Structure 1
Amino acid sequence: MTFTQPVLARRRSERLLAAARLTALRATFMVLDVVAPSVAAARALDLWCTLPANAGRRKDYRPGPGEVVRVQLPEGGEVAVESWGSGPIVYLVHGWGGWRGQLGAFVAPLVAAGYRVVGFDAPGHGDSDPGVLGVGRGNVMEFMAALEVVAAEFGPAEGVIAHSMGCTVVSMVARSTLSTQRLVLIAPNHDFVGITEDFAQLLSFTERTRSRLQQDMEDFCGRPIRDFDLAPLGADGTMPPTLVVHDRRDKETPYQVGVDLAAAWPDATLVSTDGLGHQRILTDASTIALAVGHLTDRVGATPRD
Protein backbone atom coordinates (compact mmCIF):
# COMPACT_ATOMS: atom_id res chain seq x y z
CA MET A 1 0.00 0.00 0.00
CA THR A 2 1.24 3.48 -0.86
CA PHE A 3 0.09 6.87 0.36
CA THR A 4 -0.05 10.13 -1.55
CA GLN A 5 1.83 13.14 -0.25
CA PRO A 6 -1.37 14.95 0.90
CA VAL A 7 -2.45 11.91 2.94
CA LEU A 8 0.95 11.63 4.62
CA ALA A 9 0.98 15.37 5.29
CA ARG A 10 -2.49 15.20 6.85
CA ARG A 11 -1.51 12.33 9.12
CA ARG A 12 1.61 14.17 10.23
CA SER A 13 -0.49 17.25 10.94
CA GLU A 14 -2.95 15.18 12.99
CA ARG A 15 -0.11 13.67 15.03
CA LEU A 16 1.38 17.08 15.72
CA LEU A 17 -2.00 18.47 16.76
CA ALA A 18 -2.60 15.55 19.12
CA ALA A 19 0.85 16.01 20.64
CA ALA A 20 0.18 19.74 21.15
CA ARG A 21 -3.13 19.00 22.86
CA LEU A 22 -1.50 16.46 25.15
CA THR A 23 1.24 18.94 26.06
CA ALA A 24 -1.39 21.55 26.94
CA LEU A 25 -3.35 19.05 29.04
CA ARG A 26 -0.23 18.04 30.92
CA ALA A 27 0.59 21.66 31.70
CA THR A 28 -2.96 22.21 32.99
CA PHE A 29 -2.91 19.12 35.20
CA MET A 30 0.53 19.91 36.60
CA VAL A 31 -0.82 23.23 37.88
CA LEU A 32 -4.19 21.91 39.09
CA ASP A 33 -2.50 18.99 40.83
CA VAL A 34 -0.75 21.49 43.09
CA VAL A 35 -3.36 24.20 43.60
CA ALA A 36 -6.69 22.39 43.15
CA PRO A 37 -6.43 18.58 43.09
CA SER A 38 -10.20 18.15 43.45
CA VAL A 39 -10.71 20.22 40.31
CA ALA A 40 -8.01 18.21 38.59
CA ALA A 41 -9.76 14.97 39.58
CA ALA A 42 -13.08 16.21 38.23
CA ARG A 43 -11.41 17.18 34.96
CA ALA A 44 -9.68 13.79 34.81
CA LEU A 45 -12.99 11.99 35.37
CA ASP A 46 -14.51 13.96 32.51
CA LEU A 47 -11.69 12.84 30.23
CA TRP A 48 -11.96 9.28 31.54
CA CYS A 49 -15.62 9.11 30.51
CA THR A 50 -14.98 10.57 27.06
CA LEU A 51 -15.18 7.91 24.37
CA PRO A 52 -12.18 7.53 22.04
CA ALA A 53 -12.72 8.72 18.48
CA ASN A 54 -10.33 6.26 16.83
CA ALA A 55 -11.82 5.33 13.44
CA GLY A 56 -10.46 1.81 13.80
CA ARG A 57 -13.02 1.17 16.53
CA ARG A 58 -15.82 1.82 14.05
CA LYS A 59 -14.73 -0.78 11.47
CA ASP A 60 -17.51 -3.04 10.29
CA TYR A 61 -16.89 -6.77 9.81
CA ARG A 62 -20.50 -7.95 9.76
CA PRO A 63 -21.26 -10.39 6.93
CA GLY A 64 -24.46 -8.51 6.16
CA PRO A 65 -27.36 -6.86 7.95
CA GLY A 66 -29.17 -8.79 10.64
CA GLU A 67 -32.46 -8.12 12.37
CA VAL A 68 -32.15 -4.81 14.24
CA VAL A 69 -34.31 -3.82 17.19
CA ARG A 70 -34.02 -1.14 19.84
CA VAL A 71 -34.31 -2.00 23.53
CA GLN A 72 -35.29 0.50 26.21
CA LEU A 73 -32.91 1.14 29.11
CA PRO A 74 -34.06 1.75 32.71
CA GLU A 75 -32.28 5.14 32.82
CA GLY A 76 -33.85 6.23 29.53
CA GLY A 77 -32.76 5.95 25.93
CA GLU A 78 -32.45 2.87 23.77
CA VAL A 79 -29.67 0.55 22.69
CA ALA A 80 -29.35 -0.91 19.20
CA VAL A 81 -29.38 -4.71 19.08
CA GLU A 82 -28.73 -6.83 16.00
CA SER A 83 -29.16 -10.58 15.61
CA TRP A 84 -28.42 -13.24 13.02
CA GLY A 85 -29.42 -16.89 12.72
CA SER A 86 -31.38 -19.10 15.09
CA GLY A 87 -30.60 -21.50 17.89
CA PRO A 88 -28.74 -21.15 21.21
CA ILE A 89 -27.71 -17.55 21.84
CA VAL A 90 -24.18 -16.20 21.70
CA TYR A 91 -23.75 -12.56 22.71
CA LEU A 92 -21.03 -10.36 21.22
CA VAL A 93 -19.82 -7.60 23.54
CA HIS A 94 -17.54 -4.86 22.19
CA GLY A 95 -15.03 -2.80 24.15
CA TRP A 96 -14.70 0.83 25.22
CA GLY A 97 -15.39 3.14 22.29
CA GLY A 98 -16.23 0.22 20.01
CA TRP A 99 -19.45 -1.11 18.50
CA ARG A 100 -21.06 -4.39 17.51
CA GLY A 101 -19.63 -4.35 13.97
CA GLN A 102 -16.11 -4.82 15.33
CA LEU A 103 -16.97 -8.39 16.28
CA GLY A 104 -18.82 -9.04 13.03
CA ALA A 105 -16.26 -11.57 11.78
CA PHE A 106 -17.58 -14.03 14.37
CA VAL A 107 -21.14 -13.90 13.04
CA ALA A 108 -21.06 -16.16 9.98
CA PRO A 109 -19.06 -19.02 11.59
CA LEU A 110 -21.32 -18.97 14.66
CA VAL A 111 -24.51 -18.95 12.58
CA ALA A 112 -23.10 -21.83 10.52
CA ALA A 113 -22.46 -23.71 13.77
CA GLY A 114 -26.12 -23.41 14.73
CA TYR A 115 -26.25 -20.34 16.95
CA ARG A 116 -28.30 -17.18 17.12
CA VAL A 117 -25.75 -14.37 17.37
CA VAL A 118 -26.76 -11.19 19.21
CA GLY A 119 -24.64 -8.04 19.20
CA PHE A 120 -25.47 -4.68 20.75
CA ASP A 121 -24.01 -1.21 21.12
CA ALA A 122 -23.49 0.15 24.62
CA PRO A 123 -25.07 3.54 25.43
CA GLY A 124 -23.20 6.31 23.62
CA HIS A 125 -21.60 3.77 21.28
CA GLY A 126 -22.41 2.83 17.70
CA ASP A 127 -26.09 3.25 16.87
CA SER A 128 -27.36 3.44 20.45
CA ASP A 129 -28.68 6.57 22.13
CA PRO A 130 -26.32 8.69 24.25
CA GLY A 131 -25.94 7.62 27.85
CA VAL A 132 -26.66 9.55 31.02
CA LEU A 133 -23.47 11.62 30.61
CA GLY A 134 -24.40 12.87 27.14
CA VAL A 135 -23.07 12.55 23.62
CA GLY A 136 -19.60 11.10 23.28
CA ARG A 137 -19.46 9.97 26.90
CA GLY A 138 -19.91 6.67 28.65
CA ASN A 139 -19.35 4.63 31.79
CA VAL A 140 -19.05 0.99 32.74
CA MET A 141 -22.21 0.95 34.88
CA GLU A 142 -24.54 1.77 31.99
CA PHE A 143 -22.59 -0.67 29.80
CA MET A 144 -23.39 -3.41 32.32
CA ALA A 145 -27.01 -2.29 32.53
CA ALA A 146 -27.29 -2.51 28.75
CA LEU A 147 -26.06 -6.11 28.70
CA GLU A 148 -28.52 -7.00 31.47
CA VAL A 149 -31.44 -5.49 29.55
CA VAL A 150 -30.44 -7.16 26.28
CA ALA A 151 -30.05 -10.54 28.00
CA ALA A 152 -33.45 -10.13 29.67
CA GLU A 153 -34.96 -9.46 26.24
CA PHE A 154 -33.22 -12.26 24.30
CA GLY A 155 -32.62 -14.88 26.97
CA PRO A 156 -29.80 -16.86 28.61
CA ALA A 157 -26.55 -17.29 26.72
CA GLU A 158 -24.91 -20.49 25.63
CA GLY A 159 -21.81 -18.36 25.18
CA VAL A 160 -20.46 -14.83 25.20
CA ILE A 161 -17.56 -13.42 23.21
CA ALA A 162 -16.21 -10.17 24.64
CA HIS A 163 -13.40 -7.79 23.74
CA SER A 164 -11.29 -5.48 25.89
CA MET A 165 -13.46 -3.54 28.40
CA GLY A 166 -16.35 -5.77 27.36
CA CYS A 167 -14.57 -8.57 29.23
CA THR A 168 -15.06 -6.77 32.54
CA VAL A 169 -18.67 -5.93 31.65
CA VAL A 170 -19.47 -9.56 30.84
CA SER A 171 -17.67 -10.93 33.87
CA MET A 172 -19.45 -8.54 36.24
CA VAL A 173 -22.87 -9.36 34.81
CA ALA A 174 -22.11 -13.09 34.73
CA ARG A 175 -21.49 -12.85 38.48
CA SER A 176 -24.97 -11.45 39.02
CA THR A 177 -27.71 -11.88 36.42
CA LEU A 178 -26.40 -13.35 33.16
CA SER A 179 -26.62 -17.12 32.74
CA THR A 180 -24.00 -18.38 30.29
CA GLN A 181 -22.34 -21.71 29.65
CA ARG A 182 -19.03 -20.51 28.22
CA LEU A 183 -17.00 -17.33 27.86
CA VAL A 184 -14.45 -16.12 25.34
CA LEU A 185 -12.49 -13.10 26.59
CA ILE A 186 -10.31 -11.43 23.97
CA ALA A 187 -7.63 -8.90 25.01
CA PRO A 188 -9.14 -8.35 28.47
CA ASN A 189 -8.60 -4.93 30.04
CA HIS A 190 -6.37 -4.37 33.03
CA ASP A 191 -7.56 -3.34 36.48
CA PHE A 192 -9.07 0.12 36.87
CA VAL A 193 -6.58 1.16 39.54
CA GLY A 194 -3.78 0.32 37.13
CA ILE A 195 -5.52 2.28 34.38
CA THR A 196 -5.83 5.33 36.65
CA GLU A 197 -2.10 5.06 37.39
CA ASP A 198 -1.36 4.97 33.65
CA PHE A 199 -3.75 7.90 33.21
CA ALA A 200 -1.90 9.88 35.88
CA GLN A 201 1.42 9.22 34.20
CA LEU A 202 0.05 10.20 30.80
CA LEU A 203 -1.44 13.48 32.05
CA SER A 204 1.33 14.33 34.55
CA PHE A 205 -0.63 14.44 37.80
CA THR A 206 0.39 12.88 41.10
CA GLU A 207 -1.21 10.57 43.64
CA ARG A 208 -2.78 13.68 45.16
CA THR A 209 -5.12 13.89 42.18
CA ARG A 210 -5.21 10.20 41.29
CA SER A 211 -6.58 9.17 44.67
CA ARG A 212 -9.33 11.78 44.36
CA LEU A 213 -10.11 10.53 40.86
CA GLN A 214 -10.47 7.00 42.23
CA GLN A 215 -12.78 8.25 44.99
CA ASP A 216 -14.92 10.13 42.46
CA MET A 217 -15.17 6.98 40.36
CA GLU A 218 -16.21 4.92 43.38
CA ASP A 219 -18.81 7.51 44.36
CA PHE A 220 -20.24 7.39 40.86
CA CYS A 221 -20.29 3.57 40.67
CA GLY A 222 -21.43 3.09 44.25
CA ARG A 223 -18.76 0.47 44.88
CA PRO A 224 -14.97 0.15 45.16
CA ILE A 225 -13.32 0.01 41.77
CA ARG A 226 -11.40 -3.04 42.98
CA ASP A 227 -14.72 -4.86 42.56
CA PHE A 228 -14.15 -4.63 38.80
CA ASP A 229 -10.76 -6.41 38.88
CA LEU A 230 -11.02 -9.35 36.50
CA ALA A 231 -8.75 -11.91 38.13
CA PRO A 232 -10.61 -12.08 41.49
CA LEU A 233 -14.03 -12.26 39.77
CA GLY A 234 -13.53 -15.88 38.75
CA ALA A 235 -10.89 -17.02 41.21
CA ASP A 236 -13.51 -18.87 43.27
CA GLY A 237 -14.31 -21.15 40.34
CA THR A 238 -17.83 -19.80 39.78
CA MET A 239 -17.17 -18.63 36.21
CA PRO A 240 -17.99 -21.01 33.34
CA PRO A 241 -15.22 -22.52 31.23
CA THR A 242 -13.39 -19.57 29.69
CA LEU A 243 -11.07 -19.13 26.74
CA VAL A 244 -8.73 -16.15 27.09
CA VAL A 245 -7.05 -14.94 23.90
CA HIS A 246 -4.42 -12.20 24.18
CA ASP A 247 -1.69 -10.93 21.89
CA ARG A 248 1.83 -10.65 23.25
CA ARG A 249 2.27 -7.26 21.53
CA ASP A 250 -1.05 -5.72 22.48
CA LYS A 251 -0.39 -1.99 22.99
CA GLU A 252 -3.74 -1.17 24.64
CA THR A 253 -4.22 -3.89 27.25
CA PRO A 254 -1.10 -5.57 28.64
CA TYR A 255 -0.57 -9.20 27.66
CA GLN A 256 0.18 -9.97 31.31
CA VAL A 257 -3.49 -9.32 32.10
CA GLY A 258 -4.49 -12.35 30.05
CA VAL A 259 -1.76 -14.44 31.65
CA ASP A 260 -2.84 -13.49 35.17
CA LEU A 261 -6.53 -13.95 34.41
CA ALA A 262 -6.07 -17.44 33.00
CA ALA A 263 -3.89 -18.37 35.99
CA ALA A 264 -6.46 -17.09 38.50
CA TRP A 265 -9.59 -18.69 37.06
CA PRO A 266 -9.66 -22.48 37.58
CA ASP A 267 -11.61 -23.13 34.37
CA ALA A 268 -9.77 -20.67 32.11
CA THR A 269 -7.36 -21.43 29.29
CA LEU A 270 -4.97 -18.92 27.72
CA VAL A 271 -4.16 -18.84 24.03
CA SER A 272 -1.43 -16.37 23.09
CA THR A 273 -1.03 -14.73 19.69
CA ASP A 274 1.88 -12.68 18.42
CA GLY A 275 1.63 -9.61 16.22
CA LEU A 276 -2.17 -9.20 16.01
CA GLY A 277 -2.34 -6.36 18.50
CA HIS A 278 -5.55 -5.19 20.14
CA GLN A 279 -7.83 -4.88 17.09
CA ARG A 280 -6.65 -7.24 14.33
CA ILE A 281 -7.11 -10.14 16.72
CA LEU A 282 -10.87 -9.75 16.17
CA THR A 283 -10.60 -10.72 12.50
CA ASP A 284 -7.90 -13.37 12.77
CA ALA A 285 -9.12 -16.69 11.36
CA SER A 286 -7.36 -18.72 14.05
CA THR A 287 -8.86 -16.63 16.85
CA ILE A 288 -12.33 -17.00 15.38
CA ALA A 289 -11.92 -20.75 14.95
CA LEU A 290 -10.72 -21.11 18.54
CA ALA A 291 -13.67 -19.10 19.85
CA VAL A 292 -16.24 -21.09 17.88
CA GLY A 293 -14.54 -24.35 18.84
CA HIS A 294 -14.62 -23.41 22.51
CA LEU A 295 -18.36 -22.77 22.33
CA THR A 296 -19.30 -25.80 20.24
CA ASP A 297 -17.41 -28.16 22.50
CA ARG A 298 -19.74 -27.12 25.29
CA VAL A 299 -23.14 -27.24 23.57
CA GLY A 300 -22.49 -29.86 20.92
CA ALA A 301 -23.68 -27.66 18.08
CA THR A 302 -23.17 -29.12 14.61
CA PRO A 303 -22.39 -27.12 11.47
CA ARG A 304 -25.29 -26.38 9.19
CA ASP A 305 -25.27 -27.42 5.52
Structure 2
Amino acid sequence: MPQPTVKQQDTQTNGFEIAQAIATVVNVVAPIDCAIAHSLGAASMTLALSEGITCRKVVFLAAVCWLSNSLTKFAKLNRLSPEIEVKLRFLMEEKFGKEVWERVSVDRRVANLHIPALLFHDTGDREVDFEESRAIAQAWHGAQLVATSGLGHKRILRNERVIQQAVDFINF
Protein backbone atom coordinates (compact mmCIF):
# COMPACT_ATOMS: atom_id res chain seq x y z
CA MET A 1 0.00 0.00 0.00
CA PRO A 2 1.51 3.38 -0.96
CA GLN A 3 2.29 5.79 1.85
CA PRO A 4 0.65 9.23 1.71
CA THR A 5 3.02 12.04 0.91
CA VAL A 6 3.14 14.95 3.26
CA LYS A 7 4.29 18.21 1.81
CA GLN A 8 5.81 20.44 4.43
CA GLN A 9 4.68 23.97 3.72
CA ASP A 10 5.71 26.27 6.51
CA THR A 11 7.92 25.21 9.38
CA GLN A 12 7.83 28.42 11.38
CA THR A 13 5.28 29.94 13.66
CA ASN A 14 5.06 32.83 16.09
CA GLY A 15 3.40 33.75 19.35
CA PHE A 16 0.37 35.28 17.66
CA GLU A 17 -0.30 32.08 15.68
CA ILE A 18 0.22 29.98 18.79
CA ALA A 19 -2.27 32.16 20.69
CA GLN A 20 -4.78 31.68 17.85
CA ALA A 21 -4.19 27.92 17.95
CA ILE A 22 -4.77 27.90 21.71
CA ALA A 23 -8.02 29.84 21.27
CA THR A 24 -9.16 27.45 18.53
CA VAL A 25 -8.53 24.39 20.69
CA VAL A 26 -10.18 25.98 23.72
CA ASN A 27 -13.25 26.88 21.67
CA VAL A 28 -13.60 23.23 20.67
CA VAL A 29 -12.95 21.61 24.05
CA ALA A 30 -14.16 24.39 26.36
CA PRO A 31 -14.33 24.80 29.18
CA ILE A 32 -10.75 24.28 30.26
CA ASP A 33 -9.89 24.14 33.91
CA CYS A 34 -6.27 25.21 33.93
CA ALA A 35 -3.52 26.47 31.65
CA ILE A 36 0.12 25.51 32.18
CA ALA A 37 2.79 27.13 30.03
CA HIS A 38 6.57 27.53 29.88
CA SER A 39 8.78 30.34 28.60
CA LEU A 40 7.50 31.79 25.30
CA GLY A 41 4.47 29.53 25.64
CA ALA A 42 3.46 31.61 28.66
CA ALA A 43 3.56 34.73 26.50
CA SER A 44 1.38 33.03 23.87
CA MET A 45 -1.02 31.81 26.54
CA THR A 46 -1.21 35.34 27.94
CA LEU A 47 -2.12 36.65 24.48
CA ALA A 48 -4.90 34.07 24.25
CA LEU A 49 -6.16 34.84 27.77
CA SER A 50 -6.14 38.58 27.15
CA GLU A 51 -8.11 38.02 23.94
CA GLY A 52 -10.90 36.23 25.77
CA ILE A 53 -10.26 32.56 26.46
CA THR A 54 -10.98 31.64 30.05
CA CYS A 55 -9.82 29.08 32.55
CA ARG A 56 -10.00 28.66 36.31
CA LYS A 57 -6.25 28.84 37.08
CA VAL A 58 -2.91 29.46 35.38
CA VAL A 59 0.56 28.07 36.07
CA PHE A 60 3.56 29.60 34.31
CA LEU A 61 7.12 28.32 34.47
CA ALA A 62 10.07 30.56 33.52
CA ALA A 63 7.69 32.93 31.77
CA VAL A 64 8.83 35.46 29.21
CA CYS A 65 7.51 38.94 29.95
CA TRP A 66 9.26 41.15 27.42
CA LEU A 67 9.89 39.89 23.90
CA SER A 68 12.54 42.54 23.40
CA ASN A 69 14.57 41.11 26.29
CA SER A 70 14.09 37.61 24.93
CA LEU A 71 15.50 38.61 21.58
CA THR A 72 18.55 40.18 23.23
CA LYS A 73 19.06 37.07 25.38
CA PHE A 74 18.61 34.80 22.35
CA ALA A 75 21.21 36.75 20.41
CA LYS A 76 23.65 36.60 23.31
CA LEU A 77 23.17 32.88 24.01
CA ASN A 78 23.64 32.09 20.32
CA ARG A 79 26.60 34.45 19.95
CA LEU A 80 24.91 36.51 17.25
CA SER A 81 26.56 39.76 16.27
CA PRO A 82 24.93 43.07 17.23
CA GLU A 83 24.22 43.60 13.53
CA ILE A 84 22.26 40.35 13.34
CA GLU A 85 20.27 41.29 16.45
CA VAL A 86 19.41 44.65 14.88
CA LYS A 87 18.34 42.86 11.69
CA LEU A 88 16.15 40.46 13.70
CA ARG A 89 14.49 43.41 15.44
CA PHE A 90 13.90 45.06 12.06
CA LEU A 91 12.34 41.88 10.67
CA MET A 92 10.07 41.54 13.71
CA GLU A 93 8.88 45.13 13.34
CA GLU A 94 8.47 44.72 9.60
CA LYS A 95 6.31 41.62 10.04
CA PHE A 96 4.29 42.64 13.12
CA GLY A 97 4.57 46.43 13.28
CA LYS A 98 6.80 48.72 15.32
CA GLU A 99 4.47 48.37 18.31
CA VAL A 100 5.07 44.59 18.50
CA TRP A 101 7.20 44.97 21.63
CA GLU A 102 4.38 46.67 23.55
CA ARG A 103 1.65 44.42 22.10
CA VAL A 104 3.29 41.34 23.53
CA SER A 105 4.43 42.73 26.88
CA VAL A 106 3.02 40.14 29.23
CA ASP A 107 3.01 42.47 32.24
CA ARG A 108 0.68 44.83 30.37
CA ARG A 109 -1.59 42.01 29.21
CA VAL A 110 -2.04 40.37 32.62
CA ALA A 111 -3.03 43.58 34.40
CA ASN A 112 -6.66 43.03 33.39
CA LEU A 113 -6.81 39.30 34.07
CA HIS A 114 -8.73 38.07 37.09
CA ILE A 115 -7.57 34.47 37.10
CA PRO A 116 -5.50 33.04 39.96
CA ALA A 117 -1.95 32.43 38.78
CA LEU A 118 1.10 30.65 40.16
CA LEU A 119 4.45 31.44 38.59
CA PHE A 120 7.68 29.50 39.06
CA HIS A 121 11.04 30.86 37.98
CA ASP A 122 14.61 29.95 38.84
CA THR A 123 16.74 32.82 40.09
CA GLY A 124 19.67 31.47 38.07
CA ASP A 125 17.79 31.01 34.78
CA ARG A 126 20.21 31.97 32.00
CA GLU A 127 17.61 31.99 29.22
CA VAL A 128 14.87 34.15 30.76
CA ASP A 129 15.70 36.52 33.60
CA PHE A 130 13.92 35.94 36.92
CA GLU A 131 12.87 39.61 36.84
CA GLU A 132 10.50 38.83 33.96
CA SER A 133 8.35 36.58 36.15
CA ARG A 134 8.64 39.07 39.00
CA ALA A 135 7.21 41.79 36.72
CA ILE A 136 4.37 39.51 35.65
CA ALA A 137 3.53 38.60 39.25
CA GLN A 138 3.53 42.27 40.29
CA ALA A 139 1.23 43.25 37.42
CA TRP A 140 -1.15 40.28 37.79
CA HIS A 141 -3.56 40.85 40.67
CA GLY A 142 -3.47 37.84 42.95
CA ALA A 143 -0.57 36.07 41.24
CA GLN A 144 2.03 34.27 43.35
CA LEU A 145 5.68 33.91 42.37
CA VAL A 146 7.74 30.97 43.63
CA ALA A 147 11.49 31.41 43.24
CA THR A 148 13.58 28.29 42.78
CA SER A 149 17.34 27.86 42.83
CA GLY A 150 19.58 25.54 40.85
CA LEU A 151 16.94 24.38 38.37
CA GLY A 152 17.61 26.71 35.48
CA HIS A 153 15.26 27.17 32.54
CA LYS A 154 14.46 23.55 31.71
CA ARG A 155 15.01 21.42 34.84
CA ILE A 156 12.28 23.45 36.53
CA LEU A 157 9.84 21.51 34.33
CA ARG A 158 10.85 18.17 35.85
CA ASN A 159 11.34 19.15 39.47
CA GLU A 160 9.09 17.12 41.78
CA ARG A 161 8.56 19.95 44.28
CA VAL A 162 7.56 22.38 41.51
CA ILE A 163 5.23 19.81 39.98
CA GLN A 164 3.63 19.04 43.36
CA GLN A 165 3.14 22.73 44.17
CA ALA A 166 1.53 23.26 40.76
CA VAL A 167 -0.78 20.27 41.25
CA ASP A 168 -1.72 21.45 44.75
CA PHE A 169 -2.47 24.94 43.41
CA ILE A 170 -4.62 23.58 40.60
CA ASN A 171 -6.53 21.20 42.87
CA PHE A 172 -7.15 23.67 45.68
> Which of 109, 115, 130 pairs up with 1:233?
109
Structure 1 residue 185 displacement after superposition: 0.6
Quick one: which of 148, 166, 169 aligns to 2:23?
148
| 1:183-194 equivalent positions in 2, closer than 5 A | 183-194=58-69
Verify: 1:275 aligned to 2:150, yes or no. yes
Task: Note the residue ranges of structure 1 that are not aligned, 5 or more in a row.
Answer: 1-128, 298-305
Whether the aligned pair in 1 keeps the contact of 2:122 and 2:151 (CA below 8 Å) is yes
CA distance in 1, matches of 2:44, 2:59: 13
Q: Does 2:73 correspond to 1:198?
A: yes
* 2:47 alignment counterpart: 172
Deviation at 1:242? 0.6
Q: Residue 200 of structure 1 contacts residue 206 of structure 1 at CA under 8 Å; is this kept in 2?
A: no
SS in 1 for 2:19: helix
User: CA 1:225 to 1:239, structure 2 compared with 1: closer, same or farther past 3 Å?
Assistant: farther
* Residue pair 1:193, 1:226 contacting (<8 A) in 2 also: no
Aligned residue identity for 1:191: W
The one-letter code of the counterpart of 2:50 is R
Deviation at 1:172, TM superposition (A): 0.7
Q: Give the 5 Å matches for 1:66-145.
A: 134-135=10-11, 137-145=12-20
Distance 1:292 1:248 in 2: 22
State the 4+ residue runs in structure 1 displaced beyond 6 angstroms.
Answer: none
Q: How many residues align?
A: 163
Partners of 1:197 and 1:206 in 2: how far apart?
Answer: 12
User: 2: CA distance between counterparts of 1:253 and 1:203?
Assistant: 17
Letter of the 2:82 counterpart:
F
Report the CA distance shift for 1:203/1:168 in structure 2 as closer, same or farther (over 3 A).
Answer: same
Higher relative contact order (CA 8 A, sep 6+): 2
Q: Normalising by the residue count of structure 1, what TM-score does the alignment of the two structures yield?
A: 0.49
Shift of residue 251 of structure 1? Answer: 1.7
Q: TM-score, normalised by structure 2?
A: 0.83
| Consecutive unaligned residues in structure 2, runs of 5 or more | 1-6
Based on CA coordinates, which of the two structures has the bigger radius of gyration?
Answer: 1
Aligned-pair Cα RMSD in Å: 2.3
Q: Tell me how far 1:197 sits from its aligned partner.
A: 3.0
How far is 1:206 from its partner?
4.4
Q: Percent of pairs identical after alignment?
A: 27
